[in-house]
């Protein structure tokens, strides 16, 4: 990969842009937002699901790994994935339970979740993971014992295929009382991913930190070499040896930002050596490229 060495603002891939396959792993649910007592149109929810749809719209071959029930709610979720061109072969459609539904009342803390997952561990058809594919996973869903084992197996295979693995904690505020239970899996995920992508709410909930720099220096950096934090008006990236970079903009829609991150990583000119990002110039180039793809 070549970089613009005059201003270090953007990656400059050689020739036409070709993309690798992208795989997303996360929860799927039907989101029903309320404004007072008025119901807005329900949509398929889940940050990773929406990010998968975003990436697929960008022309990148994308698969989604998740579960849903064999019911009307599940049909809506699968239909939305299909309409966005996202492969759903790895979505397990179960019969012993019901699809997840989230009712959103004004604030995330007032979310009410319904749905019943099967008692058995998640068992999905593994997605196709080519050499150097991009695998993005996360959310509280992948921390559950009945799910985390299968996800860990898929990720081991992804690393064997030299896929670039991105972990998005996206921890649900209304599950903060379970943080002690989930933390061992979170730490394993930090250790086994090439890039950690947090949002501001993760910093306090997971790491007890007030800002992204503190979180990386005091908590994340012991486990992972790179962290990117998404705030509404800025993305910040941190690497080892005190390296950091940031870019201002409108980053309030996390699925769209994750789409831009995955698209950047999926470029055929990006490889593991590139995302090692061992210089401040490389960090600057990476975050600028993400902003340019928003």
Provide the pLDDT for residue 107.
62
pLDDT value for 7: 36
Cα separation, 129 vs 82, whole angstroms: 20
* Token code pair at residue 288: 């600028």
Decide if 204 contacts 173 (C-beta within 8 A).
no
Question: Which whole-number Å values give the CA distances from 118 to 69, 70, 218, in the listed order?
Answer: 9, 12, 38
Residue 104 structure tokens: 């959103």
The whole-number pLDDT of residue 91 equals: 97
Q: Give the residue among 197, 49, 46, 172 at the shortest CA–CA distance from 108.
A: 172
Distance CA 208, CA 213 (A): 12
The per-residue pLDDT for 85 is: 97
Cα 271 versus chain centre, distance? 19
Residue ranges in the chain modelled with pLDDT below 50: 1-10, 12-15
Confidence at residue 277, expressed as pLDDT on a 0 to 100 scale: 84
**pLDDT for res 109:** 58
pLDDT value for 108:
54
Q: Which residues contact 260 (CB under 8 A, 6 or more apart)?
A: 290, 291, 293, 294
pTM: 0.91
At 209, give phi and psi (nearest 5°). Answer: -115, 155
């Amino acid at each position: 990969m070549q970089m613009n060495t005059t201003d270090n603002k953007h990656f400059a891939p050689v020739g036409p842009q070709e993309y690798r396959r992208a795989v997303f792993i996360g929860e799927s649910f039907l989101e029903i937002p309320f404004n007072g007592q008025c119901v807005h149109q329900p949509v398929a929810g889940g940050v990773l699901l929406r990010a998968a749809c975003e990436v697929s719209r960008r022309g990148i071959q994308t698969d989604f790994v998740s579960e849903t029930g064999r019911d009307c709610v599940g049909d809506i979720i699968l239909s939305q994935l299909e309409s966005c061109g996202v492969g759903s072969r790895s979505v397990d459609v179960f019969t012993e339970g019901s699809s997840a539904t989230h009712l959103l009342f004004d604030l995330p803390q007032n979310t009410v979740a319904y749905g019943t997952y099967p008692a058995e561990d998640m068992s999905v058809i593994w997605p196709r993971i080519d050499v150097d594919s991009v695998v993005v996973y996360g959310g509280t869903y992948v921390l559950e014992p009945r799910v985390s084992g299968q996800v860990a197996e898929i990720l081991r295979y992804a690393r064997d295929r030299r896929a670039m693995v991105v972990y998005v904690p996206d921890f649900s505020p209304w599950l903060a009382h379970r943080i002690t239970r989930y933390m061992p899996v979170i730490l394993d995920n930090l250790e086994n991913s090439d890039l950690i992508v947090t949002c501001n709410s993760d910093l306090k909930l997971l790491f007890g930190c007030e800002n992204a720099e503190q979180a990386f220096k005091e908590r994340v950096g012991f486990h992972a070499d790179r962290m990117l934090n998404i705030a509404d008006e800025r993305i910040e990236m941190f690497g080892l040896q005190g390296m950091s970079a940031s870019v201002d903009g409108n980053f309030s829609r996390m699925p769209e930002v994750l789409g831009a991150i995955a698209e950047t990583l999926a470029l055929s000119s990006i490889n593991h050596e590139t995302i090692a990002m061992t210089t401040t110039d490389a960090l600057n180039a990476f975050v600028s490229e993400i902003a340019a793809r928003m």
